[in-house]
Chains A and B, each alone.
Chain A
């Protein structure tokens, strides 16, 4: 099943910090204000030769650290490598955020004490453990586009096709073709090694 493993790749040679991906995600899943499952970051802005932009969400890591630390064990990892969690089990403790190398998990404030509500993160547009494409699933996890045979909305919307998502092999093929066209240069996606341990 190695081939069917889903991965994200953000091609830094292409990403232009247009934020199309993050807005598309927020709109599609009707996220509460303040939750940004996907975030576009730019470092060394304005410095010629050094400025780099990339788009980061949950990377759906191999050996997902978040899954390892969750005290209520609410994560589950699909066969295709998509890392999901059960919001009804989650207690909003924040541990997954501490474990995550990408700052992916986020928390809405809830109730009068303003304590952290159930964690929210990128689902790779694959919904959650509830009945597929049910209203309840949408409310908690947003669209389940994977079940509908659609591409995750962020990558679909990416203006420059910097953001790639798909099974490891097809993503690798696209990258390989691009890198070859660039004369062997330009394999760069922040977090790729970290998340997938070079697999």
Chain B
């Protein structure tokens, strides 16, 4: 719903419609503000996008609208998709998704016949038990039509906060190191080298070396780590101990599902530390009386550094004012913490170091202190090679930000002084001379100008089929016409077709990802090769529970009749250290008897995330002063609920919230929508008395996540907050 969640970005969509006569198609369970501007709208049942896309593929394959050459050269495993798509006739799709066969046909036709089409999505696809499947089926559709790697095509996953992309790249995840380096010994050793510490030093921080390779808890289920062992709670695998302390830094506590569990988790910690510019509701919802510390964080205006946008481009954010009052910038809070815990020196050492031309680090002579954030940015650019951040020096990024008017509004291409570079140096930006990659996987331009094939990341062949891409599908100007593996010291000479001198060879690391001199990448670029190789994209992921995306009904499905045909996964033990239930919940009973209403959650244009910042603005609160529920008048009247009166929403987990009913035609009569930006109330109880004097927001209310029930994605563990069930009742 970009009209609401990316209003400025939505301007581009409107312009496409205006100037190119682009057709806008919206697939959403609600008639959203984006839908209001669309040419086609399909009101889909939450959680049924996979059937919908298979329905499209069914029609596409049936009519031969797919891009056969593209599939042949650049895609692995499309046949399995084709076979699955054959099952999803428009009639079956209509039954499962609620979208009529005619609408499906109409949308598929217009989408397939107008090349290229671009696919935008965000949380509507991800927040499901099958979220990963959803985010796979979308690019598969793009590949079937040959829309991937084309200007104006591709997939545009509209990321959330201004720097979510950057945060992900930096590895704010429990299963990777920064830059998506895996949790394997090689990566750890690489990082030890780049941080200027011994590998053994890092190892000594862990219980034992085996834990270095195990993903940690996720944000979604940290509380399970606290509550494990109590009756009814899921088991954990955490070296025999529960979580005891929690530091909440820049996350609204109510923004993950099962808020009642969160409250219990907070209550059962031994220590709770919050670092936030506002009084985070973590401090309010808990009943704990001590060992609760609130540290005032500075805001983005009081600190500086890079932020990455959704298109992988960087901007420099300049500090506007020094941190006010006793607040401290986040990194300073971390530095203080590191000092108290005794690893400040190791933590900051590499910012005191420099890279020699041979790719080794040395202490920078005469350097007394590091400069924040420039030295950190340099550390990132020399370390995060996997995604090509080598060109992201502070100087270049600042220059782009200062000269943003020198770039084309549509293509991002620089003019004048900035010629040859794309705004914000969208990664991969292979070297300090590279101008960035505006469109991923585009083979119509040379690598030096942002071209690239698909990444070779999963071997060279699978089951006897080559995973490298076909002839003629390499970026323009490539020495190798067709597929090739990722660049290593081993294969470089063969690929570029010349022998290296001994001196050159010396500079090469084992492979391009760890070759810190940059020699391998330079050689690859010279020969027009993508450092990570040129492979096929996988439609089949053999190491996932679902080899290809499969429809599986939500745990709380409004269609018990479909559950048997499209059952969910088996329970998954040790899913980010927590046993996570799937089939057990889905099979427990037919929930629709007691909870006949479909419930989905999402965002309002006036608020952000858990909403603390916005609820501190009196002007915004004048527009959205209280928590509400969008409910169709028909459904409301059937339950005796008047517009503007209070109502209860009950969840299958036994929780409930009291909210104001707002009549709305944007939802169907069998469904309600809840925004999740409010907090401060818990199941009808006003907890806002816990705010220290003068810090209470202008608006407080029940949080939707109190009634978002169990359910997590099978791969990422993102809460399934988009497809739930509930019962509504007059309050």
A18 touches B605 (CB 8 A): yes
Identity of the chain A residue whose Cβ is nearest the Cβ of B5 in the assembled complex = A18
Interface 1/0 per residue, A35-63 and B, CB below 8 Å: 01000000001111001110000000000
B618 touches A16 (CB 8 A): no
B31 touches A46 (CB 8 A): yes
Among listed B6-14, B124-132, B411-419, interface-contacting one? B6-14
A16 touches B619 (CB 8 A): no
Identity of the chain A residue whose Cβ is nearest the Cβ of B621 in the assembled complex = A33
Select one of B8, B18, B605, B664 contacting A181, CB under 8 A.
B18
Instruction: Tell me if B33 counts as interface (CB < 8 A to partner A).
Output: yes
Select one of A19, A51, A160, A182 contacting B36, CB under 8 A.
A51
Give the residue among A19, A36, A161 with the most B Cβ atoms within 10 A.
A19
Cα–Cα, bound, A178→B19 (Å)? 8
Cα–Cα, bound, A159→B664 (Å)? 25
Known: A16-B3, A23-B619, A48-B41. A160 touches B31 (CB 8 A): no
B622 touches A160 (CB 8 A): no
Select one of B11, B35, B41, B664 contacting A160, CB under 8 A.
B11
Q: How far is the CB of B657 from chain A (nearest CB, A)?
A: 23
A183 touches B31 (CB 8 A): no
Known: A16-B37, A53-B33. A36 touches B622 (CB 8 A): yes
Known: A23-B620, A45-B666, A51-B31. A160 touches B4 (CB 8 A): no
A33 touches B622 (CB 8 A): yes
- Measured between beta carbons, the chain A residues less than 8 angstroms from B566 are none
Select one of B18, B619, B623 contacting A182, CB under 8 A.
B18
B664 touches A46 (CB 8 A): yes
Known: A18-B605, A160-B10. A27 touches B18 (CB 8 A): no
Q: How far is the CB of A58 from chain B (nearest CB, A)?
A: 19
Cα–Cα, bound, A51→B37 (Å)? 9
- Measured between beta carbons, the chain A residues less than 8 angstroms from B617 are 23
Select one of B11, B21, B31 contacting A159, CB under 8 A.
B11
Identity of the chain A residue whose Cβ is nearest the Cβ of B698 in the assembled complex = A33
Number of A-B contacts defined by CB within 8 Å: 74
Identity of the chain A residue whose Cβ is nearest the Cβ of B6 in the assembled complex = A159
Q: How far is the CB of A199 from chain B (nearest CB, A)?
A: 26
Instruction: Tell me if B606 counts as interface (CB < 8 A to partner A).
Output: yes
Cα–Cα, bound, A49→B618 (Å)? 34
Cα–Cα, bound, A178→B37 (Å)? 16
Instruction: Tell me if A26 counts as interface (CB < 8 A to partner B).
Output: yes
Instruction: Tell me if A34 counts as interface (CB < 8 A to partner B).
Output: yes
Q: How far is the CB of B182 from chain A (nearest CB, A)?
A: 39
Known: A19-B605, A182-B18. A48 touches B31 (CB 8 A): yes
- Measured between beta carbons, the chain A residues less than 8 angstroms from B34 are 16
Identity of the chain A residue whose Cβ is nearest the Cβ of B21 in the assembled complex = A183
- Measured between beta carbons, the chain B residues less than 8 angstroms from A34 are 622
B11 touches A161 (CB 8 A): yes
Instruction: Tell me if B318 counts as interface (CB < 8 A to partner A).
Output: no
Instruction: Tell me if B665 counts as interface (CB < 8 A to partner A).
Output: yes
Residues 608 to 641 of chain B near chain A (Cβ within 8 Å): 617-620, 622-623
Instruction: Tell me if A17 counts as interface (CB < 8 A to partner B).
Output: yes
Identity of the chain B residue whose Cβ is nearest the Cβ of A182 in the assembled complex = B18
Cα–Cα, bound, A19→B617 (Å)? 14
Q: How far is the CB of A20 from chain B (nearest CB, A)?
A: 7
Cα–Cα, bound, A128→B10 (Å)? 35
- Measured between beta carbons, the chain A residues less than 8 angstroms from B665 are 45-47
- Measured between beta carbons, the chain A residues less than 8 angstroms from B4 are 16, 18
Chain B: residues with Cβ within 8 Å of the partner, total of: 29
Identity of the chain B residue whose Cβ is nearest the Cβ of A40 in the assembled complex = B623
Interface 1/0 per residue, B14-30 and A, CB below 8 Å: 10001101000000000
A160 touches B623 (CB 8 A): no
Cα–Cα, bound, A186→B622 (Å)? 32
Known: A16-B37, A18-B4, A46-B31. A33 touches B14 (CB 8 A): no
- Measured between beta carbons, the chain A residues less than 8 angstroms from B666 are 45-46
Instruction: Tell me if A133 counts as interface (CB < 8 A to partner B).
Output: no
Cα–Cα, bound, A31→B4 (Å)? 25
Q: Looking at chain A's contact residues, is the secondary structure mostly helix, strand, loop, or mixed? A: loop
Interface 1/0 per residue, A1-33 and B, CB below 8 Å: 000000000000110111110110011000101
Q: How far is the CB of A147 from chain B (nearest CB, A)?
A: 24
A17 touches B33 (CB 8 A): yes
- Measured between beta carbons, the chain A residues less than 8 angstroms from B36 are 16, 51-53
Select one of A22, A31, A45, A178 contacting B18, CB under 8 A.
A178
Cα–Cα, bound, A31→B619 (Å)? 9
Known: A18-B7, A19-B605, A159-B7. A13 touches B18 (CB 8 A): yes
Q: How far is the CB of B215 from chain A (nearest CB, A)?
A: 38
B664 touches A16 (CB 8 A): no
Identity of the chain A residue whose Cβ is nearest the Cβ of B622 in the assembled complex = A33
Identity of the chain B residue whose Cβ is nearest the Cβ of A51 in the assembled complex = B36
A16 touches B33 (CB 8 A): yes
Identity of the chain A residue whose Cβ is nearest the Cβ of B11 in the assembled complex = A160
Select one of B3, B35, B619 contacting A48, CB under 8 A.
B35
B3 touches A18 (CB 8 A): yes
Cα–Cα, bound, A19→B605 (Å)? 8
Residues 397 to 430 of chain B near chain A (Cβ within 8 Å): none
- Measured between beta carbons, the chain B residues less than 8 angstroms from A14 are 11, 14
Select one of B18, B41, B623, B664 contacting A23, CB under 8 A.
B623
Cα–Cα, bound, A46→B32 (Å)? 7
Known: A16-B7, A18-B4, A23-B620. A160 touches B14 (CB 8 A): yes
B622 touches A16 (CB 8 A): no
Identity of the chain B residue whose Cβ is nearest the Cβ of A179 in the assembled complex = B18
Cα–Cα, bound, A59→B259 (Å)? 47
Known: A16-B3, A19-B606, A36-B622. A45 touches B664 (CB 8 A): yes
Cα–Cα, bound, A69→B4 (Å)? 40
Identity of the chain B residue whose Cβ is nearest the Cβ of A22 in the assembled complex = B623
Cα–Cα, bound, A47→B19 (Å)? 26
Cα–Cα, bound, A10→B11 (Å)? 14
Identity of the chain B residue whose Cβ is nearest the Cβ of A32 in the assembled complex = B618
- Measured between beta carbons, the chain A residues less than 8 angstroms from B618 are 33
Cα–Cα, bound, A36→B36 (Å)? 25
Residues 586 to 608 of chain B near chain A (Cβ within 8 Å): 605-606
A17 touches B605 (CB 8 A): yes
Identify the A interface with B (CB < 8 A).
13-14, 16-20, 22-23, 26-27, 31, 33-34, 36, 45-48, 51-53, 159-161, 178, 181-183, 186
List 13 other contacts, CB 8 Å, given A18-B4, A46-B667, A51-B36: A16-B4, A16-B7, A17-B33, A19-B605, A23-B619, A23-B623, A36-B622, A45-B664, A46-B666, A53-B33, A160-B8, A160-B11, A181-B18
A-B contact pairs, 14 of them (CB 8 A): A13-B14, A16-B37, A18-B4, A23-B617, A23-B620, A26-B622, A27-B619, A46-B665, A159-B11, A160-B10, A161-B11, A181-B18, A182-B18, A183-B21
Closest 5 CB pairs of A and B: A46-B665, A159-B7, A46-B666, A16-B3, A18-B7
